[in-house]
Amino acid sequence: PEGNIQVFMEYNSTFTLHPSPESNAAWESLFPTGKGFVKHSTIAPETSGLVVYHGLHCLNALREVYYAAVDGRLSHMTEEHDHQTDPHHVRHCFDYLRQSLMCSADTNLEPVTKDLKGVTGWGFTRTCRDLDSVKRWAEE
């Protein structure tokens, strides 16, 4: 899938909320049918996963681990060997996201917020891959 789009970056709290039917549905809506696993006669004759969806899966897993820790449920959840909160999986996700960010090396520029003396990542337009196009391609 090809195509870039202009996206105005703004905070969307739904994706940062405590796991709930609303926040979980928002995360699920990002994934195509098949969760990003595809077969393609030329480029992937065997089932393969699209990197963007692996990264989103990891980010959502980190959200779940964060709230489990905040709620004091983390030790209970890891004892149940929940894949999302398994320490090995969490470490995998940290390094996977690190390598994915370095691989994509996004060079969009973020304006500095003067009173913060840093960047928030919000309030500007950036050039992005068209994720809806990727999702449609994955569902074909």
H helix count then E strand count, the chain: 5, 4
Interval 122-131: pLDDT, tens: 999 999 999 9
Q: Of 34, 81, 74, 36, whose CA–CA distance to 58 is shortest?
A: 36
Interval 42-90: pLDDT, tens: 888 889 999 999 999 999 999 999 999 999 887 766 555 567 677 889 9
Interval 2-45: pLDDT, tens: 789 999 999 999 999 999 999 999 999 999 999 999 988 888 88
- What is the reported pTM? 0.89
Alpha helices, DSSP H, located in 33-129:
51-70, 74-79, 87-104
Q: Are strands 44-49 and 37-40 parallel, antiparallel or unpaired?
A: antiparallel
Spatial separation of the C-alpha atoms in residues 4 and 125, rounded to whole Å: 12
Q: Of 1, 4, 11, whose CA–CA distance to 107 is shortest?
A: 4
CB 18 within 8 A of CB 60: no
Could you state, in order of their start, the residue ranges of all structural domains in the chain?
Answer: 4-139
Angle at alpha carbon of residue 79, lines to 92 and 29, rounded to 5°: 55
Spatial separation of the C-alpha atoms in residues 128 and 109, rounded to whole Å: 12
